Amino acid sequence: MNFLASCLEQPGGSWVGRNYQLYNIMDPICIWGTDEACELKDWPSANQATCPSTLGNPVALEGDTVYNILYPSGQEVAAGTGELRKDSGAAGGGIGGSVMGATRMVSWVVCLMTILVGHFTT
């Protein structure tokens, strides 16, 4: 809220101050809270959002899971539990079948080609 408050207080406004949306989700990996939009009704006299249900109620948030992407495999694991996503990358830690893994492989090939070309042209 401090970051948003500083954006709302900027003279002439800011992009964040004009385009923010608050949700009743308690943690950055979306395990606790209620998936609902909230608003700042009493700004600037109050620095707390008003939500349809209780603000910060620690109920389990279900639905959209947040995934961390493991490097270098590209496998996806649930941020809250560490459980491997079933359709994620290749088992065994290879480059994997994901778009991200393929992009990483192309990046390595281009890098290697650049090194080789530089070596043989000097």
Please answer whether residues 53 and 34 qualify as being in contact, where contact means their C-beta atoms are separated by less than 8 angstroms.
Answer: yes
Question: Can you tell me the mean pLDDT for 96-119?
Answer: 42
pLDDT digits (tens, 9 = 90+) for 12-47: 889 999 999 999 998 888 889 998 999 998 888 888
**Whole-number pLDDT of residue 76:** 92
pTM of the model: 0.58
Question: Do 54 and 111 share a domain, yes or no?
Answer: no
- Number of continuous H segments (helices) and E segments (strands) in the chain: 3, 4
Are residues 56 and 83 part of one domain?
A: no
Asked if 82 and 111 sit in the same domain, the reply is yes
Question: Whole domain around residue 114: which residue ranges?
Answer: 66-122
Structurally, the chain folds into a number of domains equal to: 2
Say if residue 46 is in the same domain as residue 70. no
**Domain co-membership, 58 together with 89:** no
Q: Is 79 found in the same domain as 39?
A: no
Residues 1 and 36 in one domain: yes
| Per-residue pLDDT reduced to its tens digit, 58-84 | 998 887 888 889 999 889 998 888 888
How far is the C-alpha of 74 from the C-alpha of 55, rounded, in Å? 35
Within 8 A by CB and 6+ apart from 94, the residues are 73, 101
Q: Clarify whether residues 74 and 93 are in a common domain.
A: yes
pLDDT (0 to 100) of residue 81 = 86
> Cis bond leading into 52, ω under 30°?
no
Question: Is 10 in the same domain as 57?
Answer: yes
Q: Do residue 122 and residue 75 come from a single domain?
A: yes
Same domain, 52 and 77: no
Q: Supply the DSSP string of 37-62, one letter for each residue.
A: EEB-SSTTT--S-B-SS-TT--PBP-
Are 74 and 109 members of one domain? yes
Distance CA 44, CA 56 (A): 20
Tell me which of 36, 64, 92 is where a domain ends. 64
